[in-house]
Every structure is written in C-alpha cells, then in structure tokens.
Chain A
Amino acid sequence: MSARSRQSIPGTTLFDGTQAIKGYALNKMCYSFNSAANREEFKRAEDSYCRRYGLSEAQRDAVRRRNVLDMIAAGGNVYYLAKLAGIFGLDVQDLGAQQTGTTKEAFKAKLEAAGR
C-alpha cells in the first residue's frame, strides 16, 4: 500500500512509515535546529554534530552535498529539512529550484505563471 502510493504520484514521495523509519536520525537532527544554539553548533562542527545524531552514510553524504532530493531519498521530511536549509540561508524557493534542476528565477517565474 505505502510503496504503491509512493510511486503513484510522479516526483512525489509520501512521507509514510517506511520513510519515517529510514529518515529518523536525519529528521531528528533537523528538528534540533529549532534551537539557535544548536544551529550555531552545527555550523561550528558539522561532522561531529552529524555523528552525534547517528546519520547513515547516505544521509551524511546528502547533507554534505546540500542535496535535497538525496536527503528525501534517505528519509528526510521537508518540514524538518527546511530547518537545515535555513542554516545555509536557503528558502523554499531555493529548495524548489534545486530539486527541479532550474534557477531560482526560473522557479519563481513558473510559480507566477501558475496564477495566470
């Protein structure tokens, strides 16, 4: 059921139990970024911060490369990932542009076009 619903919408991963299990460590780390002190500590010592949360190899690699699609493939949930992205100064339009392989300007233009 969950596998089928994940595949049924193109370009979309429903965050279900499978993803929740896979992504727990990464999402837990991102949830910690509600605290400014934790955000600072991540910036100071990214490697040890990720180790403390027990990120998998794939998660650590995706975070190192700031690659959102790979973070989602590794179980990341965008509500939590957005908190990580904020540390890098990226907003949801930066994330959208990166995931769709376009520039932020082109991504924003596409959103505006949806209103016409």
Chain B
Amino acid sequence: MAKVIGAITTSHVPAIGAAIARELREDPYWKPFFAGYPPAQRWLAARRPDVAVIFYNDHGLNFFLDKMPTFAIGAAPEYRNADEGWGIPTVPPVAGDQRLSWHLIERLVDEEFDVTTCQELLIDHACTMPLALLWPGRDAWPVRIVPICINTVQHPLPSAARCFKLGQAVGRAIRGYDEDLRVVVLGSGGLSHQLDGERAGFINRAFDLEFMQTLPGDPRWATRHSIPELVEHAGTQGIELLMWIAARAALEGEVRTVHSHYHIPISNTAAGLMVMETFSP
C-alpha cells in the first residue's frame, strides 16, 4: 500500500525562479532564504519519495476567470510549465502519475469533493518552485507529481476548514492506494504578503509564527478563521496558507516538525518552510 512519508510546505515567489536561474544562492539578499532548504533536501534524499502530491494555487497561467474551479486535480501523463508573462525562466516538464490521479479523483468525489479533472494542465511557478527548491540542480525531476490546484484568485474561496478536510481526504486516499508508493505531500504558498491596494507590502510576522507553531500539533487553529479574517491577518496573497493547511491535513496521527525556517522578506513575501512527519516513537 502507498504511504504518506510526510509533508513539506514552502513559499513560492516568482523572483525565486529568477534567482535560481541567475545562480544567486550565495548573494547576500538570497542567502538567508536558500539557507533554509538543505535540511529539507537531505530529509527527502533519505526518504526517497516516488510521488509528490502538490497543493498549489494557479496565478493565471492555466486558469482564467472564464472558468475558475475551486478545486482542480491533474490527471495528465506530463505537466508543462510555460511563459507566465513576467519573465521567469521555464523549467523542464514533470511526469504525472495518471493511475494515482484517477484513484484520488475517484476517492475524492466519493467523499463529496466535486473536483475538476484536468488531463491537460499547465503548471505555474507555484507548482514548479517547490520542486526546484527541494531537488535543486537536477536535469530531470526525481518524482512524479499529482498537482491539486485550490482557487485563491476569485472569492468566494473555499474555507480553511474545507481545505483541511480536502487534505484529510487526500491523505486517506493515498493511504488506501494499492501500489507500494512513497508519497510526499507538498503545500506551496504564503506566508503573509499582499501585492495589491494601499495595504500592499503588508507582512505579519507574529501571525505567521503562530501559524507555523500551531500547524503540526493544532492544525485546526487556522481553520477557526473565516477567509476575510485570514486575509486580514495574512494579506490578500497570504491566503495561500490554505495550501499549508491542506498539506498538513494529509498527515495522520501525531505530527512533529522535522525542520522549519522563516525569513522576511523575499520580494514582498514572508517566506516560510516546514517539513513535517507523523511521529513514530
């Protein structure tokens, strides 16, 4: 049977892609950010997942306002990155796992999550950046992926409580899969930031730190807030923390933090990273 080996949650910022392409890891601005990643990379190298299920939010690469699914799940043999219009270099295609995708789709719909299924799906920086950060310097990605996109573009967004339940259902579905796969669940987004309006540049260190501190042991802490309340605390784009909530919810039992890192700022964003796994004494 398949196994969820853990969850990794990380920020994604377009500028990170440009920094990787220009080899700025040692640059004084970037170093404190990239310095957070080697422990996560080592954890992955030791745990060797076969598949990454990735919760992310599309920023207007694949989905436009003509059709905006609340939850969309990839079911493609391969996923391609493409021009997002703001000059980030594209990364190589990533292999999918169609059989696992359809298993997740069947189980999720069974559990009353009416997901949109995508046999073609362009993946944007939110989906590719965790791969580039966690498996750097690769010509080919060492994992297959199943992308799950949660709408954060157009309100109403699904509530934090709903995203938590989605993550739980994804975790149950993976654990019920009949292949001996090792699966890591990734959550890509956040933490606090706001790009738009007179409040642009808003960052909330205290909220982020409390969110990160509660996520492993009390993951429902953030789900007590409505979406507008979370936007107030974390910013209009900080609401991407929904991806962290979903990824954490895929873990069962007692969860411990293997590694965490927090750095302000990258571009306009408070950048966070967490590696979590189910506690086994």
Contacts and interface: CB of A to CB of B under 8 A. Distances in A.
Interface of A: 2, 5, 8-17, 20, 24, 27-28, 30-31, 33-36, 39, 68-69, 72, 77-83, 85-86, 91-93, 95-96, 99-100, 107, 110-112, 114-115
Contact of A112 (B154, B228, B264): B264
Interface string B189-209: 000001111111101010000
B259 interface: no
Chain B interface size range: 35 or more
B155 interface: yes
Interface string B78-97: 00001111110000000000
Contacts of A35: 83, 85
A34 B61 contact: yes
Given A27-B64, A78-B196, 19 more contacts: A12-B196, A13-B197, A16-B154, A16-B155, A28-B64, A31-B65, A33-B85, A34-B82, A34-B84, A36-B83, A72-B197, A78-B237, A91-B86, A92-B267, A96-B201, A100-B201, A107-B201, A111-B264, A114-B264
Contacts of B65: 20, 24, 27-28, 31, 77
Contacts of A27: 64-65
B interface, by DSSP: helix, strand, loop or mixed? loop
A9 B198 contact: no
A interface, by DSSP: helix, strand, loop or mixed? helix
B70 interface: no
A115 B201 contact: no
Nearest to B268: A92
